A and B are shown apart, each in its own frame.
Chain A
Amino acid sequence: MKLRDFILRRLILAIPVVFGVMTMTWFLSYIIGNPVAMYINTNTPASAIPAIRRAHGFDEPLYVQYFLYLSGLFQGDWGISTSTSFRPVTEIILLKFPATIELSMIAMIFAIVLGIPLGILSATHKDQKIDHIMRIFALAGVSMPIFWFALMLKHVLYFQLAIAGLPHLPGGERYTLIRYLSFKYTTGFLLIDSLFFYGDFTLFVDALLHLAMPGFCLGYLTIAIITRMMRSSMLEVLREDYITLARSKGLTERVVIYRHALRNAMIPTVTVIGLAFGSLITGAVLTETIFNWPGLGKWAVRAIFSSDLAAINGFTLLVAFIFVTANLVVDLIYGVLDPRIRFG
């Protein structure tokens, strides 16, 4: 009941953001090029162009065009991607989305599993050697030029090992096994499809190996973000009075930290995990390019180089929606973690 109100209010707050993003993409499509291009392909005869202009309302005044653009978006008409054999943007997004999400999820899991304990370790050993090492490790993550890191990883774990004739990680793509060619995608997530719908463990391992390098590369940045946040919020929480109270009860330091402090310290950390989703997608643009990962990021870069307006807009909108959704989820998790804002 109250929870519904809470969600509703968050949704309402998200509306202006979504509209703002839509407006901005519309605006950008005007200053970058001519939006008519979204509906024209090489086979379109020049004589047909005026008809297309009319059909899509480009002869109307600007504000009418704006509303047409918005209503098009709502109806699922996101234009045609000229750089991807003129297929509708929505179709391509659906096709490539799982690859990117699979990569981001793996990176995220990496980051959460490693980042939170490292942050706690760092906080509980503040200003000791272990803290210094952890901080350098974490800060190197946010300071790492991800494209360079990816190249170096690829060089060492793929080229060098391959040249030496040793077992090595795959250098790119999502899979090598030829069996994938006849693979029928169900969810689009290779890990899930291969394991649950095919029950083929070699396929699963193959997909996992392909994920390892790009996943770690992308995850390292997020590990760093989470570790830092965890460290500073943990430090803050450890100074709180309720920690003294917990200690005065005779609880062991472990219980004090993992039961009493952790839950409070998680509250700000969850926020950055939500926000980190945004940086993951940005990171995916570069990582996918280097590892030749058939996902949205690589598609977006290509689209930008070929001035494929519909694709750029589509990618931008999608990322914005993901971001808004992630924030919403964060708010809900907040409610679970912190009783003070539950139903707030």
Chain B
Amino acid sequence: MSSESIQAMAEGSNDMEGRGTQFQILALIQLIVSMMGFMFGGTVVLGSLAVMMGGLEAGSWLFLTAWFVQSIIILILSYMLLRIGIALLNRDMWAFSAALYLNLLLVLVFLTIGGAGTIFATAAIVPVVVLFLPDVKKYWYPSFYEDTVPRIKELRHALYLIRKSPLVVAGIVILVCFVAIALLAPFITTYGPEQRIWADSNLPPGSPSSVEGMPDHIWGTDDSGGDIYSRLIWAAQVDLRISLSVVIVAVMIGTFIGAVAGYYGGKIDELVMRVTDVFFAFPGLILCMAIVMALGEKSLDTISIALMVVWWPTYARLVRGQVLAEREKLYVEAARSIGASDGRILLFHIIPNTIQPLIVQSTMDVGSVLLTAAGLAFIGFGPPAGAAEWGLMIAIAQLYFSMNQYAIFFPGMAILLTALASNLVGDGLRDILDPKLRRR
């Protein structure tokens, strides 16, 4: 540790003697966020249990089940944040960086929930903001920075290598474009997602609309007069949201289960491994369909849940293997010998070292999830007909294949490009991050 950071710490402890109110406020906010998480998670979990048991009328309550998986993660995170909030009251050094990471994770999970989640996500970002207020920052930031310097250095090297590999850059550019297009959908589309002009059905690209005053159909129309270009862009929102949220949630569940299994070993490990074996032995698509059927409703939300359930074992396996290897290393021993708790060792020492393969795998899985979701929608397990979703658009256009190929071609290209971009990035990153392949 450099002399500056020691000095900074000394200053921090001076503050402790004196005022220290800012820390109490931080801790309070943290505790409130954690309580909020508990309330949200608890309501959804209990609510969806009630729906599943048939205790509540289906219908208006059904949204609860859609968030079931996320809520479990939120409950776990809230518990951790509760502990952190208490530790913040004691001004434990580790709690600050922990608060930073975990609040950001919480924000991510809330964002996968959609509209309602955004509000909660905003709330969860408050502690992060407080952490970076100058008064608070000078207490914890210097030592945090010290700790992350080697990682930042590595990151720089990785960024340098990324810049040098054209395929990764291409992938990133495509992904960024797609995300931007999805976000800008309201401004760049000419028609609404489910708007149709029946008189315009099956037009080739570039045709003007038969209705006076309506914009041209740049990429033509589908069988029911929907504008392909606009629907494609609206669908980007839907599809990207599904694949991103499924991957985020699956990564978290998988990491949690895999880390616990790898770290504690023994019976838990054995059990987790056998369960993942069973999941791998199942044909993924069929399992998804079965889960959707079991949930009783064919919609985007149910596909998401099904995909989350199907996807976590991959990450559990991955993280478990990594944790097993890391567990025996010297620095873990060292952390243990100074009395760090298991949770802290896992969270701060082991998991950060398993992050690289996780990044690679999850980047590639954004594509795979998208493909599977589109496949499910194609077979008829997705949203009801009429919704803007790539797989579904192909499924319906297929019926009018011989007269209108554009309605199939464009959505398929969109899926292909997105998935290809995510795979390009993931595959390239593996080359770059894998120490065995890396050029020294």
A and B touch in the complex (CB under 8 A): yes
- A28 B290 Cβ-Cβ under 8 A: yes
Q: Does B41 contact A (CB under 8 A)?
A: no
- B280 A323 Cβ-Cβ under 8 A: yes
Q: Does B15 contact A (CB under 8 A)?
A: no
Which residues from B are CB-within-8-Å of A228? 427
Residue from A21, A127, A289 within 8 A of B282 (CB atoms):
A21
A151 CA / B398 CA spacing, docked (Å)? 8
Which residues from B are CB-within-8-Å of A289? 379
- A50 to nearest B CB, angstroms? 24
- A152 B412 Cβ-Cβ under 8 A: yes
- B414 to nearest A CB, angstroms? 10
- A139 B427 Cβ-Cβ under 8 A: yes
- A135 B294 Cβ-Cβ under 8 A: no
- B402 A159 Cβ-Cβ under 8 A: yes
Which residues from B are CB-within-8-Å of A145? 371, 374-375, 378, 391, 394, 412, 415-416, 419
- B436 A236 Cβ-Cβ under 8 A: yes
Q: Does B330 contact A (CB under 8 A)?
A: no
Stretch in contact with the other chain, from A187-195, A202-210, A280-288: A280-288
- Known contacts: A17-B277, A148-B415, A155-B405. The answer to whether A304 contacts B427 by CB under 8 A is no
Q: Does A278 contact B (CB under 8 A)?
A: yes
- B283 A285 Cβ-Cβ under 8 A: yes
- A151 to nearest B CB, angstroms? 6
A307 CA / B166 CA spacing, docked (Å)? 48
A149 CA / B424 CA spacing, docked (Å)? 19
Stretch in contact with the other chain, from A81-89, A244-252, A255-263, A314-322: A314-322
Give chain A's interface secondary structure class: helix
- A136 B167 Cβ-Cβ under 8 A: yes
- B281 A21 Cβ-Cβ under 8 A: yes
Contact indicator per residue, chain B 375-418, by CB within 8 Å of chain A (1) or not (0): 10011100000000001001000100110010011011001101
Residue in chain B with minimal CB distance to A144: B416
- A74 to nearest B CB, angstroms? 18
A142 CA / B372 CA spacing, docked (Å)? 11
Residue in chain B with minimal CB distance to A281: B283
- Known contacts: A145-B415, A235-B437. The answer to whether A127 contacts B165 by CB under 8 A is yes
- A143 B275 Cβ-Cβ under 8 A: no
- B381 to nearest A CB, angstroms? 8
- Known contacts: A148-B394, A282-B285, A282-B286. The answer to whether A143 contacts B416 by CB under 8 A is yes
- A21 B412 Cβ-Cβ under 8 A: no
- A278 B280 Cβ-Cβ under 8 A: yes
- A148 B408 Cβ-Cβ under 8 A: yes
- B436 A282 Cβ-Cβ under 8 A: no
- B236 to nearest A CB, angstroms? 15
- B380 A147 Cβ-Cβ under 8 A: no
- A286 B378 Cβ-Cβ under 8 A: yes
Which residues from A are CB-within-8-Å of B289? 304
A295 CA / B411 CA spacing, docked (Å)? 28
A301 CA / B293 CA spacing, docked (Å)? 13
- B295 to nearest A CB, angstroms? 9
- A282 B283 Cβ-Cβ under 8 A: yes
- A143 B285 Cβ-Cβ under 8 A: no
Contact indicator per residue, chain B 354-381, by CB within 8 Å of chain A (1) or not (0): 0000000000100110010011001110
- B427 A147 Cβ-Cβ under 8 A: no
A54 CA / B371 CA spacing, docked (Å)? 44
Q: Does A140 contact B (CB under 8 A)?
A: yes
Which residues from A are CB-within-8-Å of B380? 305
- A320 B281 Cβ-Cβ under 8 A: yes
A155 CA / B379 CA spacing, docked (Å)? 19
Residue from B375, B379, B408, B423 within 8 A of A139 (CB atoms):
B423
Contact indicator per residue, chain B 228-239, by CB within 8 Å of chain A (1) or not (0): 000000000000
Which residues from B are CB-within-8-Å of A315? 283, 286
A135 CA / B430 CA spacing, docked (Å)? 13
- A152 B283 Cβ-Cβ under 8 A: no
A230 CA / B179 CA spacing, docked (Å)? 32
Residue in chain B with minimal CB distance to A146: B375
- B243 to nearest A CB, angstroms? 12
A143 CA / B419 CA spacing, docked (Å)? 5
Residue in chain B with minimal CB distance to A221: B371
Which residues from B are CB-within-8-Å of A132? 166-167
- A316 B283 Cβ-Cβ under 8 A: yes
Q: Does B100 contact A (CB under 8 A)?
A: no
Which residues from A are CB-within-8-Å of B293? 32, 304, 307
- A25 to nearest B CB, angstroms? 9
A232 CA / B430 CA spacing, docked (Å)? 9
Residue in chain B with minimal CB distance to A147: B378
A127 CA / B416 CA spacing, docked (Å)? 23
Give chain A interface residues in 127-183, CB to chain B under 8 Å: 127, 132, 135-136, 139-140, 142-149, 151-152, 155, 159
Give chain A interface residues in 210-234, CB to chain B under 8 Å: 228, 232
- A147 B280 Cβ-Cβ under 8 A: no
Which residues from A are CB-within-8-Å of B405? 155
- B420 A139 Cβ-Cβ under 8 A: yes
Residue in chain B with minimal CB distance to A301: B379
Which residues from A are CB-within-8-Å of B415? 145, 148
Q: Does A16 contact B (CB under 8 A)?
A: yes
Which residues from A are CB-within-8-Å of B137? none
- A18 to nearest B CB, angstroms? 8
Which residues from B are CB-within-8-Å of A304? 286, 289-290, 293
Which residues from B are CB-within-8-Å of A24? 278, 282
- B294 A278 Cβ-Cβ under 8 A: no
Residue from A139, A146, A319 within 8 A of B283 (CB atoms):
A319
Which residues from A are CB-within-8-Å of B391? 145, 147
- Known contacts: A17-B274, A132-B167. The answer to whether A143 contacts B420 by CB under 8 A is yes
- Interface on B for A, CB 8 Å cutoff? 165-167, 274-275, 277-278, 280-287, 289-290, 293-294, 364, 367-368, 371, 374-375, 378-380, 391, 394, 398, 401-402, 405, 408-409, 411-412, 415-416, 418-420, 422-424, 427, 430-431, 434, 436-437
Q: Please provide the 4 A-B residue pairs with the shortest distance between their CB atoms, ordered closest to farther.
A: A20-B278, A148-B412, A143-B419, A143-B420
> What are 13 A-to-B residue pairs whose CB atoms are below 8 Å?
A16-B274, A20-B278, A21-B278, A24-B282, A135-B167, A139-B427, A142-B419, A148-B394, A151-B394, A155-B405, A301-B379, A316-B283, A316-B290
